């Protein structure tokens, strides 16, 4: 005889996304360079580097992540998942 597991509670509603709070770039040794390079997303110069050390503004990187998440969600729903 197998025991039944209790149902899990539904996930709690997440806080709404506030731009500028998704990525944590406080570690200057990883996210700062003395050499200015063009941002990989917008092309304007920046001293900031993403986690792969590519030049990127924090806001540009967060916008790119939001777009990727929306595209993944759309593809997931397009394939018949809910």
Q: Say if residue 46 is exposed, middle or buried (CB neighbours under 10 Å; 0-12, 13-18, 19+).
A: buried
SS3 18: coil
CA–CA gap between residue 2 and residue 24 (Å, rounded): 45
pTM over 0.85: no
Q: Are 49 and 31 in contact (CB under 8 A)?
A: yes
Q: Tell me: the pLDDT tens digits for 34-79?
A: 999 999 999 999 999 988 899 999 999 988 988 888 888 888 877 7
CA–CA gap between residue 54 and residue 30 (Å, rounded): 11
């Amino acid at each position: 005889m197998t025991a039944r597991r209790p149902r899990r509670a539904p996930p709690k509603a997440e806080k709404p996304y506030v731009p500028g709070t998704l990525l944590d770039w406080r570690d200057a040794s990883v996210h700062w360079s003395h050499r200015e390079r063009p941002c990989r997303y917008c092309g304007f110069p920046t001293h900031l580097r993403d986690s792969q050390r590519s030049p990127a503004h924090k806001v540009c990187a967060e916008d790119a992540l939001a777009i990727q998440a929306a595209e993944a969600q759309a593809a997931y729903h397009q394939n018949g998942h809910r």
